[in-house]
Amino acid sequence: METFVGTTAPEFTLNAVVNGGEFTEVTSESLKGKWTVLLFYPLDFTFVCPTEILAYDDAQGKLSGLNAQVLGISVDSHFTHRVYVKTPRSEGGIEGVTMPLLADPGGVVARQFGVLTDAGVALRGLFLIDPEGTIQHATINNLPVGRNVDETIRVIEAFQFHAEHGEVCPANWTKDAKSMKPTDEGLKDYFKS
């Protein structure tokens, strides 16, 4: 199944590691009610991946303030995830990370979201899912380039602004910047000032 922006996110049930080492089960249904950043990454114990996981984990407070949560997901098992979150950073681990890491052995969910490579690992896919379960935003990077937490937060703020005010967010929009009404007059007004 290919996943497209504007469609309902695929359903899934996966084992996960949370709170630095506890096992739990996460379902797509359990994510509803909050904005969800689903962060696919290739593998534990690689190079760019820990920098992304640490950056998004550090941003959990800011995301929580936006009624948003972030979950990492790779083709590793939940057992490997637990070792990863218990391994010191100086040894290539991500000790101290508390955000959930979902286990997708075989890449079933990565395939549903269209990010599974022929080599059996996920590309760096980021999917922003609204509280009702609809995919509102997606970006996919090839393996060597990581994502930007600030851009993810900006996009969440833009979608929330639109939902609250009904106005649209032009290029380079940031919180408290000028928006526009989605009409011909609104566009003209936007360019007047």
Task: Give the active site residues.
Answer: 49
66 forms beta bridges with none
Sheet of 22-27, strands arranged across: 22-27, 13-18, 101-103, 68-74, 35-40, 124-129, 135-141
Distance CA 29, CA 166 (A): 27
Distance CA 36, CA 112 (A): 17
Contact 76, 83 (CB under 8 A): no
